[in-house]
């Protein structure tokens, strides 16, 4: 699941339309829109609302950890031209002075800039960075739901020194709509990145066949999962589940699996296709 | 290669930092107060960050040169290590760094003088004696040399401090900076080597073993002392064939008289680090290996470890003298000792791969 968090309905409109999102019913305390692998929440203005909306979306969609989270919205900037798009390289909360540094592992060619989250609209742009009102709340809570590499904040510049701060909803929607390709590209890359972690999670059905046939204590369940994971890593496939005549109880199952594991020859010297592709020497 | 550079405010105007930043004009430049703000947060994934590690330029405070773990050494009595850099540009699956750090970013401490002062202090403590300093414990000593220039400056310092003996541990072919200097008798360039096929599977982004051997041979031919580090020795079905071929290849190419030392070490990793790496790479066959838990470490069974160490030790004796060979863990030392029927022919250990 990739999660999008926006402050305003005017910001959400073009995204909902472009990504074919449908409002989730019954409505909760924040409007949520989904389409299977994507979900979007409209938080309202301010870092507190934004943090609450992240929590709401996380629970509402009953997610596992380490999913992708992207905060999208408009921001002011001292110098960047109106309509330009950037990713936050550092998020500083003006009120507390704390900073966070979203690790960047994407390949999107976007400007990257420090971002300051303020509690009141910033009209003077004192530093060469972007100003918004949500990102620090978003980042703090989203990082409890996922790893920092999958939590990013994308901002579209709506105002800078010398421009009018009071935009209409239509103007805001237009700014977002004009940058939908950058948004979709970032969403796509974050989704791909989160799938790397999906592949390393133990498959829930790996042990289900065993749990159906024998009673395992909690400790035995952990041992079972570990053994099945090791068997899968070593041989790429799992042995057929033994019959109850072969293994009378969970303890016998674990012994049987251990014997299967120790019978497997250890062969580390067999590069797979993907591994072989990795053999490009790193250059500084 | 570097898309993001984080710089501590304290070193933003440091000449070395400015030089490094200039090398990456397209990288995003982000300032921070202390590098730990970027390096230490919990919500980070080493595996994802390895796709695009950032460079962090920082200032080292406090103790910079630390006592080496007990048994760590290649013949010297006083052994210390230092890390001017944290993390490595390669991605070797058996490396303990991926279990030790949350972040895969490269931290470079730009106040090199702090390390030189730290070493000078140890030389003062051990007046009149040689002191060994190991570089490459938390990084590869040479891999980022074109960017950092650390070794170039270190060599200048070492020329003035002949009692300081330094091991530069590496897999890198970035040896140009060494050729700018006449060989120093107090420096050992030590190459980590594993069998070709194993390296191809596990040592991602590292130069091939053949390229390492070419660099090693060139260094030796130019008069540098070189070290051979077979650490970790990894178990697999045909490990005897693989290591036999590796030793043959290495000693066929590297002149024996320039080999300062050879170390052997079985795979071992502290339990918490092992737990972290298996979470990062549950699909990695290496971590599903025949390991057991011993003395807070994950390692091969005593039998397996001793068989491997004895085999490798015996093979190495075909090519080099016993007094050049060192092993890394007490259990493996014992195994080799038993196989030779001697009291302790191989001296001190070297715990580098843990």
- Model confidence at A235, in pLDDT bands (50, 70, 90)? confident
Q: What is the pLDDT of residues A126-142, one digit of tens each?
A: 999 999 999 999 999 99
What does the pLDDT read at residue A201? 64
What are B79's strand-pairing partners? B132
Using an 8 Å Cβ cutoff, are B186 and B165 in contact?
yes
Task: Tell me the pLDDT band of B354, cut-offs 50, 70 and 90.
Answer: very low
Mean pLDDT of B66-84: 92
Beta-carbon separation of B28 and A271 below 8 A? no
The ipTM (two decimal places) reads 0.91
Q: Judge whether residue A24 has pLDDT over 50.
A: yes
- Determine the average pLDDT of the residues in B27-43: 97
pLDDT of the residue at A281: 66
Q: For chain B, how many structural domains are there in total?
A: 1
Together in a domain, A162 and A67 = yes
Q: In what order do the strands lie in the sheet with B131-135?
A: B65-67, B79-82, B131-135, B164-170, B187-192, B225-233, B259-266, B325-327
State the pLDDT at residue A86: 97
- What distance in Å separates the CA atoms of residue A207 and residue A210, rounded to the nearest whole number? 5
- Considering only alpha carbons, which residue of chain B is nearest residue A271? B201
User: What are the phi and psi torsion angles at A204 (to 5°)?
Assistant: -65, -30
- Check residue B348 and give its pLDDT: 30
- Choosing among A88, A91, A92, A103, which should be mutated to test the B contact, i.e. which has the most B CBs within 10 A? A103
As a whole number of angstroms, the distance between CA B280 and CA B349 comes to 29
Phi/psi at A243 (nearest 5 deg)? -75, 165
Phi-psi region of B70 (alpha: psi -120 to 50; beta: other; left: phi over 0): beta
Instruction: Please tell me whether residues A100 and A225 are part of one structural domain.
Output: no
Instruction: Note the pTM of the prediction, 2 decimals.
Output: 0.92
Average pLDDT, chain B: 92
- Cβ A276–B105 below 8 Å, yes or no? no
Distance from CA of A14 to the nearest CA of B (A): 29
Q: Check whether residue A215 and residue A181 sit in a common domain.
A: no
- Contact (CB<8Å) A101/B6: yes
Q: What is the pLDDT of residue B186?
A: 98
Judged by CB atoms closer than 8 Å, whether chains meet at B201 and A268 is answered as yes
pLDDT, position A164: 75
Per-residue model confidence as pLDDT tens digits over A133-173: 999 999 999 999 999 999 999 999 999 987 877 899 999 99
Interface test with A, best of B7, B232, B288, B303 (most A CBs within 10 A): B288
Assigned domain for B312 exists: yes
A105 within 8 A of A193, measured Cβ to Cβ: yes
CB contact (8 A) between residue B197 and residue A269: yes
B148 has pLDDT over 60: yes
* A281–B211 C-beta distance less than 8 A: yes
B350 lies in some domain: no
Nearest residue to B91 via CA among B106, B110, B71: B106
Q: What is the pLDDT of residue B137?
A: 87
Tell me, yes or no, whether B111 lies in a domain: yes
**Per-residue confidence band for B328, with pLDDT thresholds at 50, 70 and 90:** confident
Compute φ and ψ for B253, nearest 5 degrees: -105, -35
Same domain, A34 and A134: yes
**Predicted local distance difference test score (pLDDT) of residue B345:** 30
* Residue B134: predicted pLDDT: 96
Closest CA to A94 of A116, A127, A115, A114: A116
Across the interface, which of A99, A231, A271 has its CB nearest the CB of B32? A99
In a domain, A190, yes or no: yes
B198 → closest Cβ in A100, A113, A269: A269
A49, A111: one domain: yes
CB contact under 8 A, B147 and A284: yes
Q: Confidence class of residue B331 from pLDDT cuts 50, 70 and 90?
A: low
The answer to whether B201 contacts A275, with C-beta atoms less than 8 Å apart, is: yes
Q: Which residue is closest to B205 within chain A, CA to CA?
A: A281
Q: What is the mean pLDDT of residues B217-231?
A: 97
Domain that holds residue A11: 2-200
Q: Do A129 and A181 belong to one domain?
A: yes
Contact B236 A278 (CB under 8 A): no
Cα B51 to Cα A103, A193, B79, B282: the distances in Å are: 11, 10, 35, 18
Among candidates A149, A276, A282 on the partner chain, residue whose Cβ is nearest the Cβ of B205: A282
Q: Are residues A81 and A194 in the same domain?
A: yes
**Residue B353 belongs to a domain:** no
pLDDT at B73: 87
Q: Look at residue B348 and tell me if it is in a domain.
A: no
- Same domain? A101 vs A213: no
pLDDT digits (tens, 9 = 90+) for A73-129: 999 999 999 999 999 999 999 999 999 999 999 999 899 999 999 999 998 999 999
Which residue of chain B comes nearest to A268, CA vs CA? B198
- Residue A18 included in any domain: yes
Is A281 contained in some domain? no
**A157 assigned to some structural domain:** yes
How much is the pLDDT for A197? 85
In a domain, A133, yes or no: yes
pLDDT bucket at A263, cuts 50 / 70 / 90: very high
B352 inside domain: no
Residue B346 counted as domain residue: no
- Answer whether B49 sits within 8 Å of A100, measured CB to CB: no
Q: Is B347 among the domain residues? A: no
Residue A103 within any structural domain of the chain = yes
The three state secondary structure string of chain A is: CEEEEECCHHHHHHHHHHCCCEECCCCCCCCEEECCCEEEEECCCCHHHHHHHHHHHHHHCCCCCCCEEEEEEEEEECCCCCCCEEEEEEEEECCCCCEECCCCCCCCCCEEEEEEECCCCCCCCCCCCEEECCHHHHHHHHHHHCCHHHEEEEEEEEEECCCCCCCCHHHHHHHHHHCHHHHHHHHHHHHHHHHHHHHHCCCHHHCHHHHHHCCCCHHHHHHHHHHHHHHHHHHCCCCCCCCCCCCCCHHHHHHHHHHHHHHCCCCCCCCCHHHHHCCCCCCC
How many structural domains comprise chain A? 2
Residue, of A197 and B57, whose pLDDT is higher: B57
Q: Domain range spanning residue B293?
A: 4-340
Confirm if B331 and B71 have CB atoms less than 8 A apart. no
The answer for residues whose C-beta is within 8 angstroms of residue A36's C-beta and 6 or more apart is none
What are the tens digits of pLDDT across the range B192-212? 999 999 999 999 999 999 999
Comparing CB atoms, the residue among B1, B48, B286 nearest residue A268 is B286
Beta-bridged to residue A113, according to DSSP, are: A88
B197 closest CA partner among B209, B206, B185: B209
A212 with A124, same domain: the answer is no
Task: Return the pLDDT at B136.
Answer: 83
Q: Is the pLDDT of residue B342 over 50?
A: no
Which of A109-123, A261-275, B312-326 has the lowest average pLDDT?
A261-275
Over 60: is that where the pLDDT of B341 sits? no
Name the residue among B84, B13, B17, B24 with its Cα closest to residue B53: B24
Please say if the pLDDT value at position B332 is more than 70. no
Structural domain includes residue A158: yes
User: What is the rounded CA–CA span in Å between residue A14 and residue A245?
Assistant: 61
Interface test with A, best of B27, B43, B44, B301 (most A CBs within 10 A): B43
* pLDDT for B327: 87
Mean pLDDT of chain A: 91
pLDDT number for residue B165: 98
The verdict on A213 and A162 lying in the same domain is no
A200/B197 CB distance under 8 A: no
Q: Which residues of B touch A206 (CB under 8 A)?
A: none
Q: Do B236 and A269 touch (CB under 8 A)?
A: yes
**Closest approach of B119 to chain A, Cα-based (Å):** 27
| Shortest Cα distance, chain A CAs vs residue B305, angstroms | 15
Same domain, A126 and A244: no
Q: Do A62 and A185 share a structural domain?
A: yes
CATH number for the domain harbouring residue B296: 3.80.30.30
Is B349 a residue whose pLDDT tops 50?
A: no
Note the pLDDT of residue A16. Answer: 98
In a domain, residue A271? The reply is no
């Amino acid at each position: 699941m990739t999660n999008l968090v926006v402050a305003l309905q005017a910001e959400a409109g073009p995204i909902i339309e472009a990504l074919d999102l449908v409002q989730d019913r019954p409505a909760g305390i924040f409007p949520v829109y989904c389409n299977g692998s994507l979900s979007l929440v409209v938080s309202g203005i301010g870092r507190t609302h934004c943090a609450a909306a992240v929590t709401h979306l996380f629970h509402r969609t009953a997610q596992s950890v380490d999913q992708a989270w992207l905060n999208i919205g408009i921001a002011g900037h001292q110098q960047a031209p109106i309509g330009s798009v950037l990713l936050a390289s550092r998020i500083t909360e003006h009120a507390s002075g704390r900073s966070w540094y979203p690790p960047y592992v994407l390949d999107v060619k976007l400007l990257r800039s420090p971002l300051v989250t303020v509690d009141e609209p910033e009209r003077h742009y004192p530093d060469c960075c972007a100003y918004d009102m949500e990102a620090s709340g978003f980042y703090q809570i989203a990082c409890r739901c996922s790893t920092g590499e999958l939590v990013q904040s994308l901002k579209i510049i709506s105002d800078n020194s010398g421009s009018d701060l009071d935009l209409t909803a239509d103007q805001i929607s237009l700014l977002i709509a004009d940058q939908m390709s950058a948004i979709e590209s970032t969403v796509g890359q974050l989704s791909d990145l989160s799938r790397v972690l999906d592949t390393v999670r133990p498959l829930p059905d790996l042990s289900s066949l065993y749990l159906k046939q024998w009673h395992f204590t909690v400790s035995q369940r952990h041992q079972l999962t570990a053994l099945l994971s090791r068997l899968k890593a070593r041989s790429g496939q799992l042995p057929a589940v033994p019959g109850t005549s072969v293994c009378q109880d969970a303890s016998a199952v674990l012994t049987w699996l251990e014997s299967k594991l120790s019978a497997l020859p250890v062969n580390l010297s067999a590069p797979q296709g993907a591994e072989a592709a990795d053999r490009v020497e790193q250059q500084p | 290669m570097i898309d993001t550079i984080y710089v501590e405010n304290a070193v933003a105007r440091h000449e070395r930092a400015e030089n490094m930043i200039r090398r990456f004009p397209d990288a995003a430049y982000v300032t921070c107060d202390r590098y730990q703000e970027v390096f230490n947060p919990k919500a980070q994934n080493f595996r994802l960050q390895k796709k695009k590690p950032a460079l962090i330029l920082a200032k080292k405070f406090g103790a910079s040169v630390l006592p080496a773990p007990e048994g760590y050494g290649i013949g010297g009595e006083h052994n210390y290590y230092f890390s001017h850099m944290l993390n490595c540009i390669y991605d070797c699956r058996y490396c303990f760094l991926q279990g030790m750090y949350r972040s895969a970013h490269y931290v470079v401490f730009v106040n090199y003088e702090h390390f030189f002062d730290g070493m000078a202090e140890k030389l003062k403590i051990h007046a009149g004696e040689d002191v060994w300093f190991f570089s490459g414990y938390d990084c590869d000593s040479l891999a980022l040399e074109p960017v950092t220039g650390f070794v170039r400056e270190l060599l200048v310092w070492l020329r003035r401090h002949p009692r300081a003996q330094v091991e530069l541990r590496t897999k890198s072919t970035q040896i140009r900076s060494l050729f700018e200097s006449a060989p120093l008798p107090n420096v050992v360039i030590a190459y980590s080597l594993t069998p070709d096929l194993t390296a191809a599977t596990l040592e991602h982004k590292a130069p091939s073993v053949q390229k390492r051997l070419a660099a090693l041979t060139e260094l030796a031919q130019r008069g540098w002392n070189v070290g051979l580090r077979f650490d970790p020795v990894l178990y697999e079905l045909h490990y005897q064939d693989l290591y036999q071929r590796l030793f043959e290849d290495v000693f066929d190419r590297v002149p024996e008289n320039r080999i300062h030392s050879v170390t052997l070490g079985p795979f071992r990793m502290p339990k918490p680090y092992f737990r972290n790496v298996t979470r990062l790479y549950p699909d990695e066959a290496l971590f599903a290996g025949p390991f057991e838990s011993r003395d807070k470490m994950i390692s091969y069974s005593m039998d397996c470890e001793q068989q491997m160490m004895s085999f490798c030790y015996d093979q190495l004796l075909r090519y080099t003298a016993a007094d050049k060979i060192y092993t890394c863990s007490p259990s493996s030392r014992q195994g080799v000792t038993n196989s030779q029927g001697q009291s302790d022919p191989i001296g001190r250990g070297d715990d580098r791969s843990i």
